[in-house]
Structure 1
Amino acid sequence: MEKRRKVANPLALAVLAELLVEPMHPYEIGRRLKEHGKDRNIKYNRGSLYMVVEQLKKAGFLTEQETLRDTQRPERTVYALTGEGRHEFHDWMRELVAEPRQEYPHFGVALSLLSALPPAEAAELLTRRLAALTAETEEIRADVRATQEGGVPWVFLVEEEYRLAVLEAECRFVTKLIGSLEQPEYVRAWQEIFGRHT
């Protein structure tokens, strides 16, 4: 069963992961998240990053290690992971990796209501979606290939491999769904139910 977390934002988990390596200030955390491509999986901006760091500190997962002052830049606080923060990271990761959870993607909502659209329109919209999915898949493949050729170990690309697998599965599903929507039996059935209201 999913635990109730003191700080449940996925950005918090990414911050804890970065601080496992070494203490750093939020600006550096943000730079590394972007450098490591985590911004493709976790939505954030500078303000939300600083807010999450503050929440993690209040929860006892981070501590201020030092404040750096130099004349060129504003004062910067370096944060370090506490023992409780390290435990929270590992516990949360074990939960996320081992326990599937119900997620509610927008596409799932659209699919649950798809029968309300005329079959030809639904098929045309799904064809557009398929083109976008195919383009995204090709882009990810190219990025993964280039990154691997740059010597990055596979484990640092595992989230991209997962995204590829999900996109490829969705492409297969959408292709099949388009074919089903174009079946004459479905078109007739839809017209019997909805045709008189259009």
Structure 2
Amino acid sequence: MPRRALDNPLVLSILGLLLERPMHPYDVLGELRRRSESQAAAITRGSVYDVVAALSTAGWITETARLRQGNRPERTVYALTPSGREELVRRLDDRIRHPERDFTPFLGAIAYLGALGPAGAADALSERARRLGERTIADEQRLAEVLGQDLPRLYVIEAEYAIHQARAELAWIGSVLEEIRTGRLTWPTTGTADG
């Protein structure tokens, strides 16, 4: 199995889920999608199965059972091994201690906000704030529902973090919109939609 499969961001998530309980890769996929709806489109069945195969080859997970229901294909259930738990702890500790700069598409776009001109920038930021606000409300409702199902808060703390990030972004957008409206954020006379 290529080493790059063990560098996949899903490794951490899959090891974490298997820390909670043994699972079949299909169950892992469903749980990842349920807990991370904002990233669900990026999580494919093939990528989960590839990472599971790599984790098994590395000795970080092991088969615990093979189950068959009706005419469905046999499903292999995996559990975390002691070395898998050690790897999970090592990776978690490293990622939590060392902040990395994430280069998001929004960060790349906001760097050239001036090209939209004041009116275009205000319009685009207002639309983003509206959509982000709606998504944040939906995320808060989903989180409350999940927590209402007796799922420990610690298991979905990443969703709580994402909501706080969204709220911070909304506050920042609000302050930039206010600066555009009052003229405190100035535009050059050339290189913009208005210039």
**SS state of the match for residue 6, structure 2?**
coil
Residue in structure 1 matched with residue 60 of structure 2 by the alignment: 61
Give the distance between the partners of 2:166 and 2:121, measured in 1 at CA: 19
Give the C-alpha shift of residue 14 in structure 1. Answer: 1.4
Q: Deviations over 1:32-63 (max 9, x none)?
A: 3345x145456312111111111212223223
Q: Which moved more, 1:106-115 or 1:123-132?
A: 106-115
Structure 2 residue 166 is matched with structure 1 residue 157: no
Give the distance between the partners of 1:8 and 1:29, measured in 2 at CA: 18
Residue in structure 2 matched with residue 84 of structure 1 by the alignment: 83
What is the TM-score with the length of structure 2 in the denominator? Answer: 0.82
Give the distance between the partners of 2:70 and 2:165, measured in 1 at CA: 49
Give the distance between the partners of 1:73 and 1:64, measured in 2 at CA: 19
Amino acid at match of 1:177: V
Which is greater in Rg? 1
Residue in structure 2 matched with residue 10 of structure 1 by the alignment: 9
Give the distance between the partners of 1:178 and 1:70, measured in 2 at CA: 56
What's the % identity of the aligned pairs?
32
Which one of the candidate residues 181, 187, 190 is aligned to 2:188?
190
Question: Mind listing any 5+ residue stretches in structure 1 that lack a counterpart?
Answer: none
**SS state of the match for residue 103, structure 1?**
coil
Give the distance between the partners of 2:175 and 2:69, measured in 1 at CA: 61
Root mean square deviation of aligned Cα: 2.8
Amino acid at match of 1:124: D
Q: Which moved more, 1:86-95 or 1:66-75?
A: 66-75
Give the C-alpha shift of residue 70 in structure 1. Answer: 6.3
Structure 2 residue 180 is matched with structure 1 residue 181: yes
**SS state of the match for residue 58, structure 1?**
helix
Give the C-alpha shift of residue 143 in structure 1. Answer: 2.4
Q: Quick one: structure 1 residues 69 and 196, their matched pair in 2 at CA, closer, same or farther if it must change by over 3 Å?
A: closer
Q: How many residues align?
A: 192
